[in-house]
Amino acid sequence: MNEAPRIGLDEVHIAKVISDDANGIVYDTPIALKGAVNAGVNPNSDVATDYGDNGVFFVTNNRGNTEMNLELIDVDPTVLAEMLGQAKVNGVTIETPLDQSPYFAVGFRVWIAGEKDGKKRYQYFWYAKGKFSVPETGGSTKAESIEFGHINLTAQFAQTIANGVICSHARSDDDETPASVITNWFNAPVVSVTADLTALTVTASLATGKVTFTGVKASAGDFAFIEGSINNGVTIGVLDSSDNLLEGTYTLGTKKIVFTPTSGTPAKAFVTSGLKDNNGVGATPMIDTSL
């Protein structure tokens, strides 16, 4: 790699934390936030020294609260309400003193000057688990020249429970970084260097009126489906013999998704790459497979 300055920012994503425990952290499907202007992160890190024998005897590192200031052109009102734990009904957002924002991961990439193998160079980031505070609002009258107003969000980050991760990052021009890591970076937050990015295939079977979608990783390793990636008729679906989409409910199991139709008889099933595992790998498409 060649040292070079940072010259740009884009691809800001957030992913809601579904659960975080000793077994690991699970995220919903990432959401892209367009119009990135600035992302400034202060780890509040310092070095502490202890003295003995008339000199410096011991030196240690200390990392304090990690804070991010995220500036965007704008944020979709529904997404912003979810980020801040606010209620939004009929287009109206209600703020109360009791609102509690959920945890989110925040990812983005920074453009680095220069090229490698004819391609732009980027550094990719994920901050694993943070909460956003309500931003300042207001406006000013238009004068002779226009002053653009942006949204400035502040987030405070905690470490994950299972492995104490605060942040992960990788560079596209690092020869040690597999291409698959960069390609899949924004499919799901990267919080482990042992993420299984091998192919995910899904089969479907019919029994007692229910359709079971069973997933298998190419590595034969363990995984979980991301609940938020299950979207009836978009990423996964069951059809009748006339190719009509059936409505019903999906229940997650161990490497399985069980579809229970509310009416109709299942005849075909499909999945798309939008159905993802907990490492962000999309399923190999399965189109209209007969049951």
Is residue 139 included in any domain, yes or no? yes
* Residue 188 maps to a domain: no
Tokens read off for 86: 């606010």
Q: Over the stretch 156-188, which tens digit does the pLDDT of each residue have?
A: 999 999 889 999 999 998 877 877 788 889 988
Residues 122 and 10 in one domain: yes
CATH number at residue 223: 2.60.40
- Domain end residue (candidates: 121, 156, 183): 183
pLDDT at 190: 86
Residue 12 lies in a domain: yes
Whether residue 170 is found in the same domain as residue 215: no
SS3 for 274?
coil
What's the mean pLDDT in 236-246? Answer: 95
| Residue 207 and residue 102 share a domain | no
Quick one: 13 and 47 in the same domain? yes
The 10s digit of each residue's pLDDT in 123-156 is 999 999 999 999 988 888 888 888 888 999 999 9
Q: How far apart are alpha carbons 160 and 183 in whole angstroms?
A: 24
Residues 157 and 87 in one domain: yes
Same domain, 133 and 38: yes
pLDDT at 129: 96
Q: Are residues 46 and 123 in the same domain?
A: yes
In angstroms, the CA 84 to CA 131 distance is: 8
Any bridge partners for residue 94, and if so which?
87
By residue range, what is the domain housing residue 210? Answer: 200-290
pTM of the predicted model, to two decimals? 0.70
Is the pLDDT at 23 greater than 80, yes or no?
Answer: no
Domain boundary among 152, 183, 214: 183
* 195 found inside a domain: no
* 1 located within any domain: no
User: Do the beta carbons of residue 184 and residue 197 sit within 8 Å?
Assistant: yes
CA atoms within 13 A on the CB side of 152: 8
